[in-house]
Structure 1
Amino acid sequence: MTREALRPLRRTEVLSRSLHATEHAGAVYTVEVDTNDDWQARLYRDGERQAAADMPAAFPVPGGRIEVDGSLYGVTRVHLMLDSGEERRLAPVAGTAEHLRAQLARRHPRVSRGIGAAAIVILVVNLITAVPVALELLTSIPKVAAHFGTFTSPLALPAWLNVALLLAGALAAVERVLTLRSNRVLDFETMWASG
């Protein structure tokens, strides 16, 4: 039986295909997630496909497992978890968006920190503005309104600002995914969008 080989990354796939790799137990393990395909995680050993699974996925490897998870915005976790308790993040493969973002961080650390800080500020602002709107929507449900009353959001943002916040929030979420950063509270607004 022949195994499927790992395809080389094409430039046109930089925004839709995520590849992370690590050397372990004498082999190179690569995890692929193609968001244009079926959002499955695929594990390759020395370039040959070994397994595929829906995310979150855990692939057994000698002495541990590789854990993969994702959201609407991309891969959020890709780690080698050893039986000894050691945890290692797989490195992004050259040419991927994650690799390009990591190169920016190495070459221009101040710019990278600025982008990361801006992403956090945008997500905090979006979270603060989303809570009153969500409460208003929730209390507009007749059964909820009958028990708790209704709530009117004190925020009435113009449509252009709502669109700008939505687009900025999506870009901030992509930035967080490219750097594999996450926080349950901070990324809450983006998590509901991935369900």
Structure 2
Amino acid sequence: MVKKFKRQWQLGKVRSGDGSALAEFRLWQLFARSLFFLELPGPAQDRHLFAVDVRFMADAKSRKQHENGEGKSPAALYRDGVQVARSNLPATFPVPGGVIEVAASSFGLKRMRFVREDGTEEALRPHPRSQEARRARFEQRHPVASSVVGAIAIAILLVALAGVIMEGIEAITKVPVIAEHVGRFTMPIDLPLWATIALVIAGVVAATERATRLKYHWLLDAAAS
């Protein structure tokens, strides 16, 4: 029931496209844009190429313009190179045979999939120049190294998560009433400023690396935010 309500809410946010042409993917947009493709049959059994263009740098003004039917939207759906729909994120775009679900975190995409009417799912194909496609090629060519990189990213995020949890416990136990009953917790390690900054940077890199593989966990990846 909750999932159905959420989908209906996201479908309600979709606005008609402005008919503009799909812009070329530029190298300098590597960390500011994601572009995915999916080929689907039309009503007359002809084939159409759908594209989902996500702009991560869309600010509050862009989102407000979208709500007013103006300007660029964080996510747009194109059919055969022409914009047919747009939406704020998270987004659900209706397409023949189902919907395309799109969601993003602070570090990139966490969901980009075609969900058929029968509930089965299919991943969309990333643009060859995008960071998602580059990461996929690295995994194909160097599977062992890719697994090591993925494991390191998880380890970094686990350390960051442990730090966030301990900071929270320390803050809570500073409250006099709580400290009186359970005692006061003190962080076992007092990291110097440079180490804290390095850990934050490592966490951002790790979360970004996982986003290029569309891997996301609500607790693990959120720890880097």
TM-score by length of 2: 0.77
What is aligned with 1:35?
56
Match of 2:108 among 74, 83, 87: 74
Partner of 1:18: 34
Aligned length: 187
Unaligned runs of 5+ in 2: 1-16, 42-46, 60-72
For residues 77 and 94 of structure 2, the distance between their equivalents in structure 1, rounded to whole angstroms, comes to: 10
Residue in 1 that maps onto 2:154: 120
Match of 1:94 in 2: 128
The answer to whether the 8 A contact 1:132-1:154 is kept is no
Deviations, residues 23-67 of structure 1 (Å, cap 9, x unaligned): 112211111111223471111111111111111110111111000
Q: Which SS does the other structure have where 1:180 is aligned?
A: coil
Structure 1 pair 2–173 and aligned structure 2 pair: CA distance change class (3 A): closer
Over the matched positions of the two proteins, sequence identity in percent amounts to 37
Please identify the structure whose Cα radius of gyration is greater.
2
Question: For residue 143 of structure 2, what is the aligned residue in structure 1?
Answer: 109
Equivalent residues of 1:41, 1:55 under 8 A apart: yes
Q: 2:178: which partner in 1? A: 148
- Opposite residue 148 of structure 1, the aligned amino acid is I
CA contact (8 A) 2:99 2:114 kept: yes
TM-score, normalising length: structure 1: 0.88
Structure 1 stretch 76-85 or stretch 178-187: which is displaced more?
Answer: 178-187
Moved more, 32-41 or 147-156: 147-156
* 8 Å CA contact retained: 1:42, 1:51: yes
Rate the CA distance shift 1:138–1:41 in 2: closer, same or farther, 3 A.
farther
- The SS at the match of 1:31 is strand
Query: Is the Cα–Cα contact under 8 Å of residues 11 and 95 in structure 1 kept in the other structure?
Result: yes
Residues 47-92 of structure 1: CA deviation (Å, up to 9, x unaligned): 1111111111101111110000001101110100000111011111
Q: Secondary structure at the match of 1:106?
A: helix
1:137-158 Cα shifts (integer Å, max 9, x gaps): 3455xxxx25423543233111
Query: Alpha-carbon deviation of 1:112?
Result: 0.9
SS for the counterpart of 2:163 is helix
